[in-house]
Structure 1
Amino acid sequence: MAKIFCTKTITESSFKSLEQKGHEIVTWDDLNKGPIDRQTLISSAKDCEGLITMLSDKIDEELLEQCPNLKVISQYAVGYNNIDTAATKKRGIVVTNTPDVLTHATAELAFALLISCARKIVQAAKNVEEDKWKGWEPKGFLGKSLKDTTVGIIGAGRIGSSFAKMCHGAFDSNILYYSRTKKPDLESDLDAKKADLKELLQNSDVISLHCPLSDETKLLLDKETLSYCKKDAIIINTARGEVINQDDLIELLEQGHFHSIGMDVTTPEPLPHSSKLKSFENVLIIPHIGSATETARKDMSDLVCKNIENVLENLSPLTPITY
């Protein structure tokens, strides 16, 4: 029977079927330790047939050459830019991910970030917690209305499209989207318009990032492109931290650009204590919790385990990546 190593604690009930078939599951004792360290990852993976990995786990040639028995890597995420897929393809290792099951949870989180930023909810709550609130004020914590706004979606895949529908339904938002391909459903259902990046940034009141990290999207928003944005725009990032040049973002924030910024992802994660991003009252940073609902995380756990089970039984995985 196979040995499977999981680099973080996930929903334990998801292992039941694998365990019933005699497979050994080893989970790293990660409580309050952050990502697994490199040497522990390599030493734990070297005699395994299956790996359950996180975005923070670097899976490269160095690791793979020490894992001669490895058959499947089941990524506990949609993105998989932490995995050297050329190296896995060369070795015939199957790589899978978890699309669909976290779509609504992540779009929901982006929507919550948007409302929190627009209406200054965190600042207002902090004011109460610190006993600074003296009573109702006509001009206290005035936020930005989201009704009839133009929302620009960068990356109109499953999550971006779900977020667009939420904004259109709740705020009657006009939807612009930047994507490699046209999205007929978005255009017919929401009257959305495909735009180039400059047009989207110049015309959007809200800009929400949902694109995968790739050579094309890395540092997509830098000083030049960020300067196209409206000075009072709201930017929401639940995609990848590396999509934004954070130094350029900080420079523009210091110059008074942007109503607010909501970030579920940063570079690095976590940010160092000294990061200037933490000093801005209008920047809300949360700890990469896009898919963090009980339902989504249970579904993700079930899917990574089912993908491994299928590969070990010489069946097709449910959600393989396409090489």
Structure 2
Amino acid sequence: MAYHSTTGTADNSADFLVKLKDFLTTVVGWTLHDDGSAQADPYYVLKSSGESGAEDVYLQFVDDSNADRIAVRGCLYWNAAAHAGVKEAYHNSYTYVRTVDASPFLYWLFADLDHLFIVTKVVTTYYGHYSGLIKRFWSGAVAITQAAAAPGSDVVVQVNDASIFTANSYYLIKDDAEIERVQVTAIDTASTPNTVTLANLVNTYATGAKIGEDLQPVIVGWYQMPGSFYALNRFDGWASSTGQSGSCAAAHGNFHTAANPDQRYGLVTMFPWLAAHTSSTYKELRGELIEVYAIGSGAADSEDVLDLGGTTYKIFNLSGSAWCAVKE
């Protein structure tokens, strides 16, 4: 996995936006999908196909009129010609990176082609932000449609590989305009191309649409991550920009203080941050954050480094999330 990190000082919010774009495009390998730097609210839209090459990650970073922040939005697809996102996930009050408009501040950037984690230091407070894919708990296998599919019942859809499906199971289908949950009632791996039969299809989908169990598990974090977030979709598709809410919780059962470090060998235990949808109408444990871990408060100080046999982790006491270790 191509994983990268860097640190530096930004002169202000505008300078940080450029430094973030440059890091993601020139170092990590994201694509600058839309350059809105000349707009009244300057923005960049970054795109990635993920470490697997089969993902669709679109993130917009905006230096908008709100003070001391870079707004972050995700979307199913970004139309660069129209300069508009399709089925976005964001909230004007919460999904942003905490910055400073009028004075310098420190920052740390951690990223691969799946995600990014940002830490900024404003005076003495550290703020975290996570956006991108999570480490999904469900299958990431994807089939690509070989012809357009129209709405209806018992819809036969041509795909490049029907072997990834199980008859009578449920999946998501998406293209650049729509996303919905479908039931695969039959599969045919003998025909060329392969086909699947969908019990019902509400929308029209273009050739090249994707069908899979957990498509595009992208989250857009609040300004105090790990914490609350909005996802691009849930098990049944997209509802609204804030209709796929969720939150993170550390998988330590409040035992992190027993290993920060422990008394036997002085060992520090790092616990994964889980990501879940928590609404009463769509509860689901979706996955975990990538290379961000919870630790106890006694391991070290903020900006110190844990060395675990050659792999190093930067430590921060993050606002709203307490102590975290992030892979460098």
* TM-score above 0.5, yes or no: no
RCO comparison, higher one (Cα < 8 Å, 6+): 1
Using structure 1 for the length normalisation, give the TM-score: 0.26
- What is the TM-score normalised by the length of structure 2? 0.25
Structure with greater strand share of residues: 2
